[in-house]
Amino acid sequence: MALRRYTTVVDGTIPIPALLYNDEELLASQDNVGIYDGYQKAMDHQSGTVHVTTHRLFFMNVRSAATQSFSMDLSHVIRTDHYTGLFKSSPKVTLFLDANSVSNSGNGDDADARFESWECEVCSYRNPPGLSPAAAQVCSLCGVPRNAVPAPTSQTSSGALPTPLASFPTSSTSLPGTPSRSGSPPPHGNGDPESIACSACTFLNHPSLPVCEMCFTPLPVVSQRFGNNNNTRTKSAPSSRPVSPVSAAAVDPANLLIKLSFRKGGEKALYNILKRALKARVWEVSRYRHECGFFCPLIAVEFAREGRSERFRGMANRNVNASVKNTQTELSDAFQDLEALMVKARDLVQLAAELNEKLNASSTIANTPGSASPTGSIFAVTSLAPSAEPEEAKFIRSSLSQLGLQMTNAPVTPDMIRDERRWIGELARELAGILQGTSDDTPGQKPSGIMRQRGIVGLDEVWGGWNRARGVALIPPSTFLQTLQFLPDCTSPPIYNRTFKSGLRVLHTPPYTHASFTARLLGHLMLSEVLTTSQVAQEEKITISLTAEMIEAVEVDGVVCRDDERSAIRGGGSGSGSELRWTLNMFEEYVWDGQTFD
Amino acid sequence: MGTTDGHAGFRLPSIHAAHAFFTEQPNPTTQSVFTDNWTRLILSYARHRRLFVIRVEDAEVAGGDWDEILRNERINRRVLPSYLNSLISAMVSRNLAYYEPPKQTRSVILLWRLPEEWADVLHSWGTATGQLNTILTLYEITDPPVPSPLSGIPLSLLRRTITILTRSGRAQLIGVADGEGVRLLTGGK
């Protein structure tokens, strides 16, 4: 149904270039394509070649090219969709068609009329045949619509004349497009005694009656006939039964679509070209171009009516030319501005790159003596001593930062530092700032950092906190772990990395090393003999799970031993709810003092 | 911590009053000290009360022969069955016990005297009671009319003992109509 309504049969034996309008261009072709009419396969159009032009979509049937090929105006397409295909289902492109537009080329007469040459009513220019329908509607010389003179509407003649420029927006609607296609306007007078079929009882009434003579059902208004080609056509047919307004109008809008099924691929390229063609809307551009000069045609119409067309011709031409010229200069001005901007931008980027290179060069020169030292310590190279930097470089850096090109707390990113080791070293320093707070903070403010208050922190928390602080260019765990080995050198007190038996990794300050924690724990146990894990955690102000890990590490040394509450006779927890109690291991030197036998 | 006398006149070691003693220690060094002391405690108690068998069930259910050892009401601690099981297997691996019946791990016969020691005991008992060169049934040894050091010895342990005596030529195993008999000989020694 969609197929029949929107397409025109063309002779597929004619080569494509011969079928095109003069202002039409062939964009792409793809063979092995099948057509779906709505959601059903169109049985007659299962194998053919699809051609996309600026105006139309051609389907050239392979089997019966002469009768089963068609063309469709792209102006009907309101939306497209692309389906990539799955297993045996071929990729498809769906074209959703506008329910309100009807193919203007349903009958052969129209198509023929289009290819006739015609003389403009205003300027007498003989327009050559072969232009696209939209372009053919207006004179290619003066831009006056083809039928402007014979059928001027009252709106255009009165409204547009006093203020020609203000009439632009309305001009598109007032353009006599669809109704006057057949070349001459439909008969306007009421001399035609065409009877009107009643929608209820099908009685054919006299056109002047407002209601049905038989059943008093209100009849369709006579004036509607003018705007509705289909109505008049059906009425002229010898029919005793009323016909529903339009058969095509009953079609579900959802079904108004055509699918192109690409049996042998190629859908991507074609779809892109098709989309571009739809976006370009060449058929409208040509119409717009003529509308630009539309105020002149209106004047021309007036003059032509008064029989002064001769005098007007030159004037109309001048106006058209002037408006086209205006548009062109404005456009070229805009492009010139853009080009200038691009040139400047390139200069700016170049300048920044040069500056950066110079800075890098100067800083490496400053650091060369350090790298030559026999110690070979990487930190002699990596640490960028500020004092070693030349004054100029420092000045440039500071002005850069003043310009906002370099923030003081900007995250270190790999493109800022070329050398991998230096990059890690810089990262370690940044991390140190996050953990302990930077020393160059404002003096009144207490430096803050993740590990300012706490001596031991889980690695996951540090990683998350660091990346949150960076915000951009997040650090992957692998780089994070690499950074950790440099951390003790950048922090004071040094922060170490430790992995527990369970795999839990932490960062900690010296008070939380294994040795010092053991010493503290033994001291606590000395005083209170027995301590539960949570008591130790409370004492140490760290989490219970961390405490458990640390005590278990001490237990490995054999200096403490555990007492599981699960082995209590009465009470006591069971399962994971029970707690471990820790005592000093005083059993190493235990001597048997129980029962002996001689 | 101090030693205490149990109600059967058994002197419990001071370590039995330590909480940690009732928990299996993950540290192998600490645990080996504990295992040594548990082994000694179990064997001493078994010898004191002439107990030959210990089962994992003894830790599961209260009221058995082993409550005095496996539980300490004063400190509210007991040996968990899993712990007793690992203690038992440690004793088996040290040849201080063997699984009886075989092919299970929940019940052992305790060797508070090694089979060699039992062999000496059996031989000296036979000598002392003047039963050398006479044929004795195994029942006459395990359940003699006059209580002996061998009273109540499990049959499997008695057979091991006799096997050792046979090897050193101090006994002879004889099959009799209704079972087995043994003749103790003067032997080499």
Q: What is the pLDDT of residues B50-91, one digit of tens each?
A: 999 999 999 988 888 898 899 998 888 999 999 999 999 999
Q: Does domain B115-184 have CATH number 1.10.10.10?
A: yes
Whether omega before A493 lies within 30 degrees of 0, making that bond cis, reads yes
pLDDT at A312: 54
* DSSP string for B21-40: GGS--SSHHHHHHHHHHHHH
Residue A159 has pLDDT above 50, yes or no: no
For helices A282-292 and A267-280, what crossing angle results, to 10°? 10
Fold of A409-512: Arc Repressor Mutant, subunit A (1.10.10)
pLDDT at B107: 93
Fold of A2-109+251-281: PH-domain like (2.30.29)
- Residues paired with A37 in a beta bridge: A40, A258
Between CA B167 and CA B173 the distance in angstroms is: 11
Q: Do B78 and A596 touch (CB under 8 A)?
A: no
What's the rounded mean pLDDT across residues A270-283? 82
Alpha helices, H only, A373-383: 378-382
Q: Cβ atoms within 10 A of the Cβ of A216, count?
A: 12
More confident: A236 or A12: A12
What angle is formed at CA A526 by the lines to CA B4 and CA A546, rounded to 5 degrees?
115
Phi/psi for B182 (5° steps) reads -135, 140
pLDDT at B45: 93
Which chain A residues contact residue B78 at CB under 8 A? Answer: 567-569
What's the rounded mean pLDDT across residues A135-150? 69
pLDDT at A493: 83
- What six digits make up the tokens of A8? 């025109």
Do B115-184 and B4-110 fall under one CATH topology? yes
Hey, which of A123-132, A301-310, B134-143, B172-181 has the most confident mean pLDDT? B134-143
Give the SS3 label for residue A30. strand
Hey, which of A100-104, A188-192, B75-79 has the most confident mean pLDDT? B75-79
What's the rounded mean pLDDT across residues A3-27? 80
Q: Are A80 and A93 contacting, i.e. CB atoms less than 8 angstroms apart?
A: yes
pLDDT at B42: 94
Helix, strand, coil: what percent of chain B each, to 5?
A: 45, 15, 40
In chain B, domain spans: 4-110, 115-184
Cβ-nearest to B19 among A563, A571, A595? A563
Between CA A76 and CA A6 the distance in angstroms is: 8
pLDDT at A252: 64
pLDDT-wise least confident of A3-17, A248-262, A513-527, B2-16: A248-262
Cβ-nearest to A568 among B30, B40, B77? B77
Hey, which of A21-35, A412-426, A517-531 has the most confident mean pLDDT? A517-531
Q: Do B26 and A562 touch (CB under 8 A)?
A: yes
- What six digits make up the tokens of B35? 């295992």
pLDDT in tens, A278-327: 888 777 755 555 444 444 445 545 545 555 555 555 666 677 778 888 88
The pTM for the full model equals 0.48
Residue A49 has pLDDT above 90, yes or no: no
More confident: A421 or A244: A421
pLDDT at A234: 43
Is the CA virtual torsion A530, A533, A534, A539 positive or negative? Answer: positive
Q: Is B47 on the interface with A (CB under 8 A)?
A: yes
Q: Are A292 and A327 contacting, i.e. CB atoms less than 8 angstroms apart?
A: yes
- Cα of first residue to Cα of last residue in chain A, in angstroms, is 115
More confident: A383 or A147: A147
pLDDT in tens, A532-551: 998 899 888 888 888 999 99
Residue A259 has pLDDT above 90, yes or no: no
**Mean pLDDT of chain A, nearest integer:** 71
Q: Do A583 and B20 touch (CB under 8 A)?
A: yes
In chain A, domain spans: 2-109+251-281, 409-512, 530-584
State in words which class domain B4-110 has. Answer: mainly alpha
Q: Is B175 on the interface with A (CB under 8 A)?
A: no
pLDDT-wise least confident of A59-73, A105-119, A574-588, B100-114: A105-119
Ramachandran bin of A439, using left for φ above 0, alpha for ψ from -120 to 50, beta for the remaining angles: alpha
Ramachandran bin of B133, using left for φ above 0, alpha for ψ from -120 to 50, beta for the remaining angles: left
What angle is formed at CA A472 by the lines to CA A466 and CA A478, rounded to 5 degrees?
55
In one-letter notation, the amino acid at residue A156 is T
Q: What is the ipTM of this complex?
A: 0.82
pLDDT in tens, A484-522: 888 888 887 888 888 988 888 888 888 889 999 999 999
Is the CA virtual torsion B92, B97, B103, B106 positive or negative? Answer: negative
Q: Are A563 and B72 contacting, i.e. CB atoms less than 8 angstroms apart?
A: no
| Residues 74 through 133 of chain B touching chain A, CB cutoff 8 Å | 76-80, 83
B108 band by pLDDT with thresholds 50, 70 and 90: very high
pLDDT in tens, B145-182: 888 888 889 989 999 999 999 998 888 888 777 778 88
pLDDT at A107: 44
CB pairs under 8 A between A and B: 93
What's the rounded mean pLDDT across residues A344-369? 68
Which chain A residues contact residue B80 at CB under 8 A? Answer: 566-567
A172 band by pLDDT with thresholds 50, 70 and 90: very low
A386 band by pLDDT with thresholds 50, 70 and 90: very low
Residue A331 has pLDDT above 70, yes or no: yes
